[in-house]
Amino acid sequence: MEPYSLPIYNTAGKETGSIKLNSAVFDGKVNTASIYIAVNGYRANQRKGLAATKTRGEVSGGGRKPWKQKGTGRARVGSIRSPLWRHGGVIFGPHPRNFYYKIPDKIKALSLKSSLNARLKENNILVLDEMKLKNPKTKEAAQVFFNLKVVDSRNDGRGRALLLSDKIDSPLRKALRNLPFLGVNIAKDTHTYEIMSHKKLIITKAGLEELTQRLK
């Protein structure tokens, strides 16, 4: 199979060349099962598991029997903190727990490859020669993505695009962080959930080389 090829664009949105993708990573195969495992694992590992309720033994009070067992005509009860009573304990309520589980490295790599190939098949990967701004201004940064036709002025495309670069300095990060449609990360640090949760993937040429090296 011939390797896939993608055009390279500059920040003005003009095509400046093309790049052949490494067939060891971009082979066109999408393993949906590995993507499912990776996404579920990532979401589970983000959970803090802090929800907590008190059982009848943990609620304050209720040590004395409210009335004698027999002779009152009322139902027998041993504590005012019974789960049947208001302000009583909770039966089978949530307690702090750890939802974390480890995903095998092979599945992580396979799912990341599959997510990249999924975006490639959808024609949703754009290669940028480099992400440089004359002035680190949000307005100037937004214009780059208008030029690339990722978004337009009528639709901010919230959560729509992900920019992956080999490096992001502090001024550039400040210029990009106020764009509601954009996620930003270092290319070699990206993961399956991040790619699948954004519709468009914009990656710099150097960032693509680093990501390919990581997966190859």
User: Per residue in 47-99, pLDDT tens?
Assistant: 999 999 999 999 999 899 999 999 999 999 999 999 999 999 999 999 999 99
**Considering only CA atoms, which of 1, 53, 7, 8 is closest in space to residue 26?**
1
Residue ranges of the domains in the chain? 5-47+103-215, 50-98
**In a 10 Å sphere around its CB, with 0-12 CB exposed, 13-18 middle and 19+ buried, how is residue 55 labelled?**
middle
Strand 182-186, strand 125-128: pairing: unpaired
pLDDT tens for the chain, residues 1 to 216: 678 899 999 999 899 999 999 999 999 999 999 999 999 999 999 999 999 999 999 999 989 999 999 999 999 999 999 999 999 999 999 999 999 999 999 999 999 999 999 999 999 999 999 998 888 899 999 999 999 988 765 555 555 899 999 998 888 999 998 898 999 999 999 999 999 999 999 999 999 999 999 998
CA 165 to chain centre: 17
CATH for the 5-47+103-215 domain, from 1.20.120.530, 3.40.50.970, 3.30.200.20, 3.40.1370.10: 3.40.1370.10
